[in-house]
A and B are shown apart, each in its own frame.
Chain A
């Protein structure tokens, strides 16, 4: 997965317009980030990439870009 597509998936989970996420955002600082958005991210990672991650680990990475780089080095 490329970085742009990953951000589009995060847009979708956050219920934001496509192209909103730039990578510099911290998920838990984002207005539309809630428990449902986190569950959508968990599902997307699990269904598309068989990556099982805890919510704590997802937040721990800081920015969306840092999360992408960790998951897809």
Chain B
């Protein structure tokens, strides 16, 4: 039987850095120590003025090709998760087809999700591959939230960094389920908890009331997360007929250390099984999970045959979880 498997992950972060000392300069009400103690982030990467999510996606994918895991001519479908597309239209995934010399026979589409996007992308890719429509999918998650954040909004700037991750997913002949089951959730009543209000059709032109900047209600998002994520984990384990002990590693969306530590304790997950890895790049939205997974693989914290739980949550409000066995 054809089953989807993760065959390779690469990522790219922009060159420009912003550390905590630089972030708080000129803002006496903040200290770099306070930012680090509450976020676990020491430095984040920011896209240059003329650098887009499409550019970061291209570089991450070129690294994937250079790694030898796949070639441009192999790719049959491009899924790009981004909330900062290069253009209002067309979708950035079709531009990437051309820029990356991927065959014109490949399908390509963008989908608009943030921190839950990687898990949703795995689900979409699983559908495409296991239904026999394609043999492989290039799943890219790329965002440049920094372009939406006001320079004096220290609280929000402290959290987010820009990055892209490219994941190659391919059919494998096996009876073993390598990715799944999935648990999904959405709550549109919380649409305004993380939002850029102007620029879309509802408020096309920024004005004093509706601006083209990222607004985040941190406590409301925190409250949503601590009530939703543990239930998602519980349901996922129940659906898979597993317990916490059956999972070798837990990789949640790397929101910030404070939130992750509380989520870990609440679900009673051992510290050594729980991934926290964002200190040098910040919360990179839809790219956090594949980046953390790639780094954990590189550090040999995850080995072949390990079962990893992936949980994404955030803007939407949207959340999703899945289990993934490393081939």
Q: Does A5 contact B (CB under 8 A)?
A: no
**Docked complex: B211-225 residues within 8 A CB-CB of A:** 217-220, 222-223
Contacts of A54 in B (CB 8 A): 220, 223
Give every chain B residue within 8 A of A55 (Cβ-Cβ): 217, 219-220, 223
Whether the Cβ atoms of A36 and B38 lie closer than 8 Å is yes
> Within A4-61, which residues are at the interface with B (CB < 8 Å)?
35-36, 38-39, 42-43, 46-47, 52-56
A42 contacts B223, CB within 8 Å?
yes
Residues of chain A within 8 A of B223, CB atoms compared? 42, 52-55
B262 within 8 A of A: yes
Report which B residues bind A (CB closer than 8 A).
Answer: 38, 155, 217-220, 222-223, 226-227, 258, 262, 265-266
CA–CA, A47 and B38, complex, Å: 17
Q: How large is the interface on A (under 10, 10 to 19, 20 to 34, 35 or more residues)?
A: 10 to 19
Q: Is the interface of A mostly helix, strand, loop or mixed?
A: helix
Count: A-B pairs, CB below 8 Å? 36
Instruction: Give CA–CA (A52, B226) in the complex, Å.
Output: 8
Partner of A39, one of B219, B265, B266: B219
Contact of B262 among A38, A47, A56 (CB under 8 A): A47
Contact between chains at A47 and B218 (CB < 8 Å): no
Contact B222 A39 (CB under 8 A): yes
Of listed B155, B220, B222, residue having the most chain A CB within 10 A: B222
Q: With A42-B223, A52-B226 as given contacts, are A35 and B218 in contact (CB-CB < 8 Å)? A: yes
Known: A42-B219, A47-B266. 5 other contacts (CB 8 A): A35-B218, A35-B219, A39-B218, A39-B219, A54-B220
Whether the pair B226, A46 counts as a contact (CB closer than 8 A) is: yes
Q: List 12 A-B contacts (CB under 8 A).
A: A38-B219, A38-B222, A42-B222, A42-B223, A43-B226, A46-B226, A47-B262, A47-B266, A54-B223, A55-B219, A55-B220, A56-B220
Chain B residues whose C-beta falls within 8 Å of the C-beta of A43 in the assembled complex:
226, 262
Q: A46 contacts which of B218, B258, B262 (Cβ < 8 Å)?
A: B262
Q: Which of B217, B219, B258, B265 has the most CB of A within 10 A?
A: B219
A50 vs chain B, min Cβ distance (A): 9
How far does the alpha carbon of A39 sit from the alpha carbon of B217 in the complex, in Å? 11
Q: Which residues of B contact A38 (CB under 8 A)?
A: 218-219, 222
CA distance A46 to B226 in the complex (A): 8
With a cutoff of 8 Å between Cβ atoms, the chain A residues found around residue B262 in the complex are 43, 46-47
